[in-house]
Structure 1
Amino acid sequence: MLTPKRFSDIVTPASIAGVLALCTLPFGSWSQCGTLLNGDGMVTNDPVYFECNDGNNPFEFFPLTQGSWTNVTVNWGDGSSPEFFEIWDNLNAISHVYDYEEFTSYDLTFSTSSCAASAALKKSVLVNPAIVVPEGWPTGACAPATLSFVNGSTNVTPDTEFTWTFDDGTTVTAGADNEGATVDHLYNAFTTGCQREVTLTATNACRTAEFGVPAAVTIDYINIWDRDNPLIGTSATVLCWPDNTVDLQNISEMVCFNNGNTQQRKEHWDFGGPFGPGGISEIDWRPWVNSDPIPLTFPSVGEYTISLGIENYCGIDEQSITIVVREPLTAEVAGPSVVCAGDRLEFTATAPDADWFEWDFYGTDQNWYPSQSGNMIWTFNAPGDYDLTVQVGLDNQSESCVAQAIHQVQVQAKPQAAIVLSE
């Protein structure tokens, strides 16, 4: 209990003078400080606020605080006079009206007699990307071709970043000075498809602050055509004499046919000599209306070059192939002839120039086993007589190039040991 004696011990002339001095401080000289929050309501040192209004009107800004500020002076950073507020907390907001600016920055300070804090207010607008193709400008062409596009974006600020993509693996980046610019792009031959998309993405501080991702716009009506892809279909590229006839077909790819490249195609054949139907050497340019087989007959062993030209709206392209007529393959197979059931056997096939080998160990023509070379390991588990057959051939060959060799194998039962114990 505070007795009169103890009170007299505590309250001295000096302490009374201190209390009187505190009580006589000017109004507003005592202060309390809160903590600034960013635009997401998180405690932040030196927060940065964004105002992305593009309505061309003055705007009112409300800074955010956690806790209370008392007797605080705010410099709003726009050249206006600082403002004094007796209290600022969650229930007593403070604000300031700024004149409209499209892009600027304000440095704010909040100060009391005991503390100070600062923040930044970024005034900007949301950039809006746009691609413009003026009337009369081409939106399609045969590659290689250069097409042009105009950057028609709005609300472009000095910090804007643009990215152009052309759907052919190329990307172009640019800054704010790309606004209103004409962007030329070369579509190279045989590197694009038919219907191309052109995309323009744009971002700036407001886009990042409000959405976290750029904005994008795409146009999808750009048609880039190309020459057709010539392709000769053939029944074989290797013949073995006396087989000397091959069938050819025009199986070329009609590029962008479903996207408007429908002009009548033409084809031209050069057989390299009088090997075509009726002894003709070529078929001059004619409409390509079907892919019916064209038979060629060659006079002897040799190599023959065949060419096919294809013409469409974008021009002519050509493919050539070589047909080889060669002497027939020969094959031999060697290995053990009399064996015991269960033995591990090795057989060797010899066939000069052969590309592949197949083995039929039972002579039934039912099960063929391929091998990478002419060597094969096999085990016969049942006694009997077998016609081991090896078949060899060439890649892309006609049936005339298949050669066979047969090796007879007699498989005997494995002897059984008989042991008799004497008494």
Structure 2
Amino acid sequence: MIQTIDLRGLKPSRAELLDLIPRSLTDVSAATAIASELIDDVRRRGAAALIDQATRLDGVRPDRVRLDVATVSAAVRGLRPDVRDALEEAIDRVRAASRAQLPTPTVTRLGPGAEVIQRWSPVRRVGLYVPGGKAVYPSSVVMNVVPAQIAGVSSIALASPPQREFGGSVHPTILGAAGLLGIDEVYAMGGAGAIGAFAWGVAELGLDPVQVITGPGNVYVAAAKRLVRGQVGIDSEAGPTEILVIADATADAFLVASDLLSQAEHDELAAAVLVTDSPELAARVRAELERLAPLTAHRARVDTALRGQQSAVVLVDDLPAAAAFSNVYGPEHLEIQTAEPDAVLDLIESAGAIFLGENSPVSLGDYLAGSNHVLPTGGQARFTPGLGAYTFLRPQQVIRYDREALRAVEAGIVALATAEDLPAHAAAVTARFSER
């Protein structure tokens, strides 16, 4: 069912490990041309283009792209009580964890009258994308909206694809989650066109351009985010989900298999990877996967994901080798199920979110851990973080020197400006101390 990659006895370099990592053939650049056409269409034709794209790509022609406040309010009232309770609990937990991400302004005093102030300024307006497709993601509404609100963003727009089952409107559970958070600027638009609409605005809809776009989506959404970067900021080019589990002989094979399946049910391209130094555990996990996969509701999707080249059981010599493999992989979700998970954690450099111990499954982070589940995929965790309050903040340095503090560094500035053959730089300082 799932391939085995045996690295025992090998000492691959970092470059060699990159070649050995199981990845899908998903290539964001392959979707760039189509995404570019969809974005350009929206820039030219605005709402008409969004409606035409919905008709062609989502199979429904929405009556309106921007939903009214009454529709959002009705969706809140229509939430099932248990779903509403769970969403409110998730909101409280993500708020608490997001507040911890807010940096503290600091002042560095470099001498009398000389100071540099580090401040953090929120962007004013953001566009948050919540995918449709194979599932409904009200949890992604929470994960996108809450950190933006905690950061102090004052204007938030939300987009999600129109749904055939609901007459071209956004799924009511997504609308209900938005309403619980006080978001009433909601658009029934999806895919690359929605990203383009956020980036450049659609005047006839009252949709002003945003400064930052966040949220996961399909390969066309990822390609669109790559294309608009520079016009706006983005979080990352989120693609198919990933789970990598580092486990040793003490791990429970049933739990490991259950966690691998939890991510495999997302998408046929989802990656499920076990890295272990125990051949016996590997065999038990493979047996559990074969037993459990046919019992899942989305068995065909799960089977395709597990058989794909992006999923594997990786055998290594020891846990440091497992950590080295994981660091090169840079997983979206990393679980550590070992006798001493904290010892393995000390070896980890790159991961979107890390789940320690057998009672911290990825599903916890998806909903109620308090952490954010909008995370980098495709190895991007090696260089970029998951979504957080910091995503919506811009660090700014404020410089304040008085006359005597400037005089104290005048000679140094003149020396450096002269060395760089920029005499006007020097003159801008000396002018403050010369006769006029």
TM band (smaller chain): under 0.3
More strand by share: 1
Larger radius of gyration: 1
TM-score for both structures, normalised by structure 2: 0.20
More helix by share: 2
Q: Which has the higher contact order (CA 8 A, sep 6+)?
A: 2
TM-score for both structures, normalised by structure 1: 0.21
